[in-house]
Copies of this chain bind each other. A is one copy, B any other.
Amino acid sequence: MTTSYEGSQIMPDHSSDQYPVDATNKVKRRHDRGFYDHDTVHALLDSAALAHVAYVIDERPFCTPTLFWREGTRLYWHGSSASRMLRNLSKGEPACLTVTHFDSIVLARSGFNHSADYRSVMAFGTARLVTDLVEKDRALTMMVDRFFPDRTALLRPTTGQETKATAVIAMEIEKASAKIRARGVVDDEEDYELPIYAERLPIRTVIGTPEPCPRIIPGVERATTLESYREGRHLEEALLEAYQLAYS
């Protein structure tokens, strides 16, 4: 085995397609933590709603949080047409979209071995404004339905004005890498004998009690398609389940 998930439950599927690897996306530090197959990369993307996008304006880097989703090997995100990032990306700009699942903080017996468990993806490509109206309409639907399957059909229809005011960005993934640490406490062998406390502090992102809008008119019920999102559930599980429903 030249690769390992270091104890993670996720198993790499070596029959899956791979993203090409070069100097841009090759995991250099701790290369044993790097994966490039579509299945691993896509599963980490589809179990997230929040990404951070890096882009360059006047040679300076910007890092912007945004909701996003995947369709095949293409990523989508959105924002107002007024935003700085989108104005700049309209002609097509290199971007890097990163998703991080933060799984634990690791307290070891030395400062050096303190660490964290995480699963992250960096995806590289050229971001462009979606100008084709058919692609844009579809994207505006999936922007909602990817998270809440079939919800758009229940909503007040989007107006032309709203469509105009929403910019949709698309980025074909040219290269991508996943990086996974799932090892908990790992100390130097001789340090285990020392009288020092060590632990893995697990972290999880969960759904709270759904808060219905107080102005819902009587008799209107929560759709059964929202059942993925229930109190106490890991957000990533609900997001992945909804994604699979939406694109099944």
Residue contact A64 to B205, C-beta cutoff 8 Å: no
Contact of A62 among B60, B96, B199 (CB under 8 A): B96
| Closest residue on chain B to residue A163 by CB atoms | B112
| Main SS class of interface, A | mixed
Residue contact B213 to A201, C-beta cutoff 8 Å: no
Known: A28-B83, A65-B120, A140-B111. A203 touches B207 (CB 8 A): yes
* Interface contacts beyond A60-B124, A102-B205: sample of 10 additional A-B pairs, CB < 8 Å, sorted by A: A49-B102, A49-B116, A54-B62, A55-B61, A65-B98, A114-B144, A184-B211, A198-B213, A198-B216, A202-B209
6 example contacts (A-B, Cβ-Cβ < 8 A) are as follows A30-B80, A52-B52, A114-B143, A156-B194, A194-B217, A204-B208
Which residues of A are interface residues toward B (Cβ below 8 A)?
24, 28-30, 49-50, 52-56, 59-65, 67, 79-80, 82-84, 94-98, 100, 102, 105, 107, 109-112, 114, 116, 118, 120, 122, 124, 140-141, 143-144, 147-148, 151-152, 154-159, 162, 165-166, 184-185, 187, 191-213, 215-217, 219-223, 226, 229, 235
Closest 8 A-B residue pairs measured CB to CB?
A202-B208, A54-B63, A54-B54, A54-B61, A52-B52, A63-B98, A198-B213, A65-B100
